[in-house]
């Protein structure tokens, strides 16, 4: 969040103290783990998936594999690159918004 602080302020229209409180609430609900805790087989699979996309994303993909979850990212290059490789456990922010609207219509 720190890396994108200015963008978060602009998009959210929150003051620094409000954004800090939001950050505290978000972090309170996240279980942070050290990358070294992710078994090597998941890091290797992630390496093979991202090596020609963006090596900076290896930890995210490795954790996603390790937790058998779906990676939600705003990184279009990562999303498109992974999907081209047949990796379907990734969702873009745009897809998440569409899904939310679909679910809202059902309720």
Quick one: 23 and 38 in the same domain? no
Quick one: 97 and 84 in the same domain? yes
What token pair was written down for 29? 């609900």
Quick one: 17 and 39 in the same domain? no
Number of domains in the chain: 2
Quick one: 17 and 52 in the same domain? no
Quick one: 10 and 21 in the same domain? yes
Quick one: 59 and 77 in the same domain? yes
Quick one: 8 and 59 in the same domain? no
Per-residue pLDDT reduced to its tens digit, 45-82? 999 999 999 999 999 999 999 999 999 999 999 999 99
Give me the DSSP letters along 36-99: GGS-HHHHHHHHHHHTTT-GGGHHHHHHHHHHT--EEE--HHHHHHHHHTT--SEEEHHHHHHH
Mean pLDDT of the chain: 92
Domain that holds residue 18: 1-30
Confidence (pLDDT) at 105: 85
N residues, the chain: 107
Confidence (pLDDT) at 66: 96
């Amino acid at each position: 969040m720190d890396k994108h602080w200015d963008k978060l302020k602009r998009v959210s229209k929150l003051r620094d103290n409000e954004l800090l409180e939001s950050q505290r609430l978000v972090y309170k609900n996240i279980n942070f783990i050290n990358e070294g805790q992710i078994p090597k087989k998941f890091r290797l699979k992630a390496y093979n998936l991202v090596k020609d996309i963006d090596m900076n994303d290896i930890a995210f993909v490795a954790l996603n594999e390790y937790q058998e979850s779906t990676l939600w990212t705003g990184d279009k290059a990562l999303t498109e690159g992974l999907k081209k490789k047949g990796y379907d456990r990734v969702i873009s922010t745009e897809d998440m918004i569409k899904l939310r609207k679909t679910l809202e219509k059902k309720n």
